[in-house]
Each structure stands twice: as C-alpha cells, then as structure tokens.
Chain A
C-alpha cells in the first residue's frame, strides 16, 4: 500500500505547472495527507483540473487567520488525501465557487460563507444555508472577533419565514411544506415538496434547525474536552466522530496510541456500525408498514446496546475515546462474550433476512423505489452505504486503511441497483462484514497499555478520516501553543448524502418519502453543526 501512495501526485503537479497554476508543497503531518498551498486567483480553474484528474471532493472549510481568511479543500484519489490551502484578505474575502464542478460542495461553501464570511463567486446557488434568523447577514460567528454569546443573547429568535425556496409552477402543481417538527421521533428539518397528484416533481430540504455552534464552542477546548464534543456532533456516530477527531489530534501532536487501544477503537467502531444498521433495517421496513421487521430488528438492536452498556458502560458508546487511547479495558471473559453474541446475531440474521427478502409486499414497496444511479452518486460525492448501494465502493477502511485496519481484511459489499431495497441489502451485508471484522479484531487483539501519554502542550494541525457507519467522517483540528483547540471542523458524511435524497425521490410518490429518507438516513445534527 505505502509504496503506491501518492504515485499520481507527480503527474498532477506537472499538469498544474503546465497550466501555470502556482503550487507550493508544504511538509505534511502524516502519510495519507499531502498539503499544497495555492493562489486565490487559480482557485476556480483548479476545481476543473482536479475533477478531470479524478479527484473526489471530500470537504471544504475555512478559518479566521486575522487579516486573512484561510480556506481548505480536501480531495481524495486512490485513498490518498490532498489538502489545498488558500488565503484571501479578510477585507475582501472572495474565491471562485466550485459548485458547478463539484455540486456536493455547494452547502459547504454556503456554510463557510454564512459562518466565516468568504464569498464564493459565480455559484449557481448562493442562498444562505446554516443561517436562519439567529444572527444578521453581516455577522460571521466564526470570526475570532465575534463573541461566543452572539450580540443579543437574551433576545427571542423569530421564525425563518422568508427563505427563498425554489418554486415550481404549472397547472396542477401543488406544494407540501413539512417540518421542521416531524411526526416521528426524529430530528428537525424542513422539506418542501412540489407534486402533481402523488408524484414528486421536486424536493428541497432546508436544514440548519439544530445548528448549535459546535465549531465555535470547540475553540479553546483541551484535547479531551474536544473528544467529548466530537462525540456529540451526531450522537449515533459518536465513535466515528471522536475517532476522527482523536486521529487529527494525535497526528498534530505526533502521538501514536498503543496497538491495543487502536484495536479496541476498531471494535467500538464496528459495534457502532452494527447497532445502527440493525435499528435502521427495522425502521425502513416499518416505514412501509412491515412491523414484524421493526419488532425483530429493534429487539436485536436492544440486545446489542445492552451488551455495550455491560462491556463499556454506555449504551451508545459515548466518551470511550481519550487522546492517545481508550477509556475501558476489555478482559478475556468480555471478549468471549462478544464472540458468543456475534454468533447469536449471525444466526438471527440468517433466519430473519430471508423472511424480509421473500416477503412480497415488502419487495413491492422497496424494489425500484428511490433509485440513485451510480453516476448521480459519484457526481454528488455520496459516501458510505448510500454510495455503495449505487455501485460506488469507496471505504476508508479498505482504500486508505489506518491502524489497525491495515492488519484486518474488511469485506466490501457492493450493490448496483441503487434503490431502497439495495440500501437495505447493503446494510445487512455490512453487518455481516462487520461481524467478520469483530472476529478478526478479537483474534488479533494485542496486549499492552490502553493509552499513550498525552502532552498537554501539544501543538500543530492534523486531519483524521474514519469510515463511520454512514461513511467517511473527516475531522480537521488545529491546536494553539498551549494545547488548546484553535479550529475544529468535523465533516459528517451527511453533507454529501442529504443532496442525494432530493435526487432519488424525484418521480416517486409522496407517501414513499419516509422510507426513502430512512434508507438514506442523513444526520441533521451532523451537518447542521
């Protein structure tokens, strides 16, 4: 793996030089990431070159560096990550938009504009995104000069009633507004449907309702306090987000956690994946009225969560990671109880999944519903099971394996049809693959300490990438000279999977929206931040 890393880089650099794009490579923190400084004037055409070169856009965020605003774009090719840095003067912070080339970046650009004040020129969609009515248009909360409390901490915030939604006109076209408060026990967001009869012509999502200032309140935290926060970016992905943040911190500080800690982190990550997929398989079936599956799979999930509590002290595995290691040991008895539980779960799935597969009414509702084509998934940069159910196979564990995944063999199931049924099958297959992974982790679990010493005055910047249950989770962390967080940006996979929902619902019937939505299951909190 290592010898082929970045073997595409010389070709890219010569391509850029030929086009007179000025780049400066800076020494990087670690293996899977290389960093290039670029000039703001080249920003727009860079996107085209990178896209033609086959780079996937993995993230975009910014940072206030006082007189200048810095913007970062992260790209991936063959499991290698390229980090581009560009700076613009704070007095005139303008960059060309990448949205026309990388449509999935649009909301990230709007997020960077609303929170930091960088204007992305010539974007096909420049509407506000995270900003509703909590702060005015000319205030950018992530600027260092802005107080954490905002400007009117005790004032009531009015409803966001004048957002310029897309409009669809024509005879018999009608509009259905849904949310932010939904009928079920789920997160808040607004969906605007345009329909003719039962058929959806257009769906537009308006998110940002759970925006709670995560990036701002991360500032000034210690490493340990940052992991606690990262574990609450999206509660269902607490291990994935805290591992990505831990990786970023540890790469910044040059700390390698002990081998046992890394294996235990992988165990936690796979447990999180299995628990979430179990819950969702049942919930997807429930959204088309097949309560049997909901009862059975929520039963399996509950058992799984009880094991989490017994083994690690928390049903959802929060706060298990520490900078440089993990919190909870795992003794031999606990390891063998996990093996037994995995065998039991496998037997249960073997008996349950055929019942789902052969059920005519379930097949009728799920097959051919909510199709996302391979081309659409690739164009939007979709991640995780959403992408893999549509034939796009990227998986950080396989394509850019970090320790201990470089010593594990992770199966990568893949579907081609891209419908709800494919996403259900994909999740079931991923549970089996994770059960295999758990067995390997336990077989290879090395002895040793749970934690490396964490230097309180660690400094520097780093990135983490982890394959969470939803897909690739990215984290960027920069520490100041006193070991405190200067900048934290967690990029949940939902940034790239939410836009897929609007695409795959097209031409489906309105009553199939819940099942389509659940099959994608984007995190609201994870992208609202």
Chain B
C-alpha cells in the first residue's frame, strides 16, 4: 500500500504539468465555464460505436487518462443512454447497428444532442455506402455536430465538445 502511495506521490499531478505548455488548459476552462452555464456543470455522454474500426474508441478512452482527464471539466461518460445528454457516435453506420443506434437515441431524454465522431461517422469515410453500411451517421440519426479525423485526437474531441456548447447556446 505504501509503495502504491509513494508511486502516486512521485508521479505527481501530471494533468497540470502537461497543461502549462499547451492550450488544453484554456480549452478546458472554457469548456467548464460553458458547462456550468448551460448544463449545471455536468455533461453526460453516451458513446456508441455504430461500426467503427475501434481507433476512435481508443482516442475517446484517452479523454479519461490523467493527461486529459475531462471529468474535471464536468464531462463524464455514462453507461446508459437514459442518463446521457450527448450521444457520441463513431464509425460508419453499419446496417447491422442501425436499429440499435435508433433505439439508443430513442432511449435518451430530451434535450439531447448527437455528435458524429471521425471521418466514417461524418460521411461513411473509407467504408462509404454499401450493402453493409449506410454511410454517415446522419443517414439514421439527427446529427448536431461532426468532429472529423481518422481518428480525431483527444484534443480535437474536446474542441468539438466546445463547439457543440457554442451551437447549443445559439439555439
């Protein structure tokens, strides 16, 4: 136990170390301010893979690592669409996932938003439209915002969330 605590102490708080030399901190505080104003300080996200190659999942997972730690800005990932404000969808919309995607969206309480994450979710990307894929997520769900990239980096994902809040404020 003591060794674990010693290790934690010796690593220190890298979350802050890394931010000093980046614009991430500024980005995060803006995000936090916006969330406080519009979402009582808490934005709940449900992630949905509608056919991705799993690269987008890896980068979304990275948002929770100690470098980005989006939870401190008020963003958290939830297990149920019932608890979610935002549906973060990755991958082309595979035909085998489209009904599950519709039901996941239907299970969310309004007001709700959909973000299409990654080139495939934007317009089908490299997988396009085929016997197996509908193409972009917007073919099946009402998309409020797109975050392109293959995959988008964690930084881009945070910028995307901010853009969503801006557009939500405008609406």
Contacts and interface: CB of A to CB of B under 8 A. Distances in A.
Interface of A: 132-135, 141, 146-151, 153, 156-160, 180-181, 183-188, 208-214, 216-217, 228-229, 232-236, 238, 279, 292, 295-296, 298-299, 301-302, 305, 309, 315-316, 318, 351-352, 354-355, 358-359, 523-525
25 contacts: A132-B96, A157-B95, A160-B96, A181-B100, A184-B79, A185-B60, A187-B49, A188-B100, A209-B94, A210-B91, A212-B91, A212-B92, A212-B132, A213-B132, A217-B130, A233-B53, A298-B61, A298-B64, A305-B62, A316-B55, A318-B55, A318-B150, A355-B4, A359-B4, A525-B54
Nearest to A185: B47
Interface stretch (B6-14, B23-31, B32-40, B159-167): B6-14
A212 B51 CA distance: 7
Contact of A238 (B55, B92, B133, B153): B55
B170 to A, nearest CB: 29
B98 to A, nearest CB: 5
B51 A315 contact: no
Given A132-B96, A159-B100, A316-B151, A149 B129 contact: yes
The size bracket of the interface on B is 35 or more
Of all A-B residue pairs in the complex, the 7 with the closest CB atoms, nearest first, are A235-B55, A150-B131, A213-B132, A134-B95, A183-B79, A298-B65, A235-B53
A161 B101 CA distance: 15
Given A181-B104, A299-B14, A229 B58 contact: no
B49 to A, nearest CB: 5
A166 to B, nearest CB: 20
B112 to A, nearest CB: 15
A224 to B, nearest CB: 13
B73 interface: no
B86 to A, nearest CB: 13
Interface in B97-153: 97-100, 103-104, 126-133, 140, 150-151, 153
Contacts of A151: 131
B7 A351 contact: yes
Contacts of B64: 298
Nearest to B51: A210
Contacts of A213: 127, 130-133
A381 B129 CA distance: 34
Nearest to A352: B7
A488 to B, nearest CB: 13
Contacts of B4: 292, 355, 359
B132 A141 contact: yes
Contacts of A133: 95-96
Contact of A159 (B47, B99, B132): B99
A414 B150 CA distance: 35
Given A210-B91, A315-B153, A352-B7, A148 B51 contact: no
B59 to A, nearest CB: 7
B154 to A, nearest CB: 9
B49 A296 contact: no
A208 B97 CA distance: 9
Contacts of B126: 217, 228-229, 232
A296 B66 CA distance: 8
Given A159-B99, A315-B59, A315-B153, A210 B14 contact: no
B171 interface: no
A299 B7 CA distance: 13
B66 A295 contact: yes
A157 B48 contact: no
Contacts of B59: 315-316
A216 to B, nearest CB: 6
Nearest to A179: B100
Nearest to B98: A157
B131 A301 contact: no
B138 to A, nearest CB: 14
Contacts of A147: 131
Contacts of B3: 354-355, 358
A189 to B, nearest CB: 10
A132 B50 CA distance: 15
B123 to A, nearest CB: 14
B7 A355 contact: yes
A148 B132 CA distance: 9
Contact of A216 (B57, B81, B94, B131): B131
B113 to A, nearest CB: 18
A525 B53 contact: yes
A469 B8 CA distance: 29
B58 to A, nearest CB: 6
A209 B62 contact: no
A213 B3 CA distance: 50
A148 B77 contact: no
A209 B96 CA distance: 5
A316 B58 contact: yes
A161 to B, nearest CB: 9
Nearest to A235: B55
Nearest to B80: A183
A235 B7 CA distance: 32
A3 B60 CA distance: 49
A280 B146 CA distance: 29
Contacts of B55: 232, 235-236, 238, 316, 318
